[in-house]
Every structure is written in C-alpha cells, then in structure tokens.
Amino acid sequence: METEMQVKVTGYKEEQWSKDWPSENLIQCIAFLNEKLRLVPKEYQDSAQITIEGIRDFENDPIAEIEIFYLRPLTKEETAKMKAREEEDARAIRKHELEMLKQLTEKYRGNNTME
C-alpha cells in the first residue's frame, strides 16, 4: 500500500528571547501551547508536534528554538504540481542522457578496442 505524501505546516517558530516566547510559568506556558494548538485545523491536531532545539544565534551564543507544526496530506493541486515536476525532471534527464549517448557514440564509433 502506498503511503500518502504529507506536507509539514509550521504554525509557530521562534527563537528564545523573542516577544512571542512562552512563559517559564507552567500554567502560562500550557495556555500558550493551547493557544498555538487551536491554530491547527481540528482534523490535523492529532499530527501536531513541537520541537525544542538548541541553536546558535548570530553571535554564536547558544539559544533555544521552538517550532510547532502539523502534518497534512497534499492537496490534489499540490499532488498534480509535484507529478508534473517529476515528469518534467524525467524528460530533462532523458534528454540529457540521450545527448550524452549521441556524443559518446560519435566519439567511439568504429573504435571497438577497450583502452
């Protein structure tokens, strides 16, 4: 069975010390997270995730970054665009390979020896 392609939709991504950073107070932090969860469409809330990572700021100091996102299936339009891109890429690769084959055939035509 083929698995359905999904899109990652980021609803919140901030670095530590930003204005919209969650409080250290647990009750306020839970309220903050609930507010962000409400931004996720109900049908995708079961796929909502949070990542908290240590990164470096522009001065190379360690800071935290929070990202809240959810996954959703590709729309029919996104699927069609992706398929069209894949088909165009395949045509471009085939064209390039045929050109290479032509060049190599011309280069080695009549030369049956291995060098």
Residues 73-115 pLDDT 10s:
999 999 999 999 999 999 999 999 999 999 999 988 866 655 5
Q: Which residue has the tokens 């001065």?
A: 59
Alpha-carbon distances of 39 from 2, 29, 31, 69, 75, rounded to whole Å: 30, 16, 13, 10, 19
- The answer to whether the CB of 66 falls within 8 A of the CB of 77 is no
| Run of H or E including 54 | strand 49-56
Is 16 within a domain?
Answer: yes
Note whether 50 and 87 are same-domain residues.
no
Structure confidence by residue, pLDDT tens digits, 24-68 = 999 999 999 999 999 999 999 999 999 999 888 778 888 899 999
φ and ψ of 82, to 5 deg: -65, -45
Per the domain annotation, does 59 fall within a domain?
yes
pTM of the complete model: 0.65
Do 60 and 103 sit in the same domain of this protein? no
pLDDT at position 62: 84
**Same domain (yes/no): 11, 66:** yes
Q: Which of 36, 29, 34 has its CA nearest to residue 10?
A: 36
Is there a single domain that holds both residue 69 and residue 41? yes
Place of tokens 């796929």: 47
Query: Containing domain of residue 15, as a range?
Result: 6-73
For residue 98, being part of any structural domain is answered with yes
Asked whether residue 84 is domain-assigned, the answer is: yes
Q: Are residues 29 and 81 in the same domain?
A: no
Helix (H) or strand (E) holding 73: strand 62-73
Q: How many CA atoms lie within 13 A of 56 on its CB side?
A: 4
Q: Are residues 37 and 91 in the same domain?
A: no
Same domain membership, residue 80 and residue 65: no
Place of tokens 């908290």: 52
Nearest to 22 by CA among 46, 52, 61, 44: 52
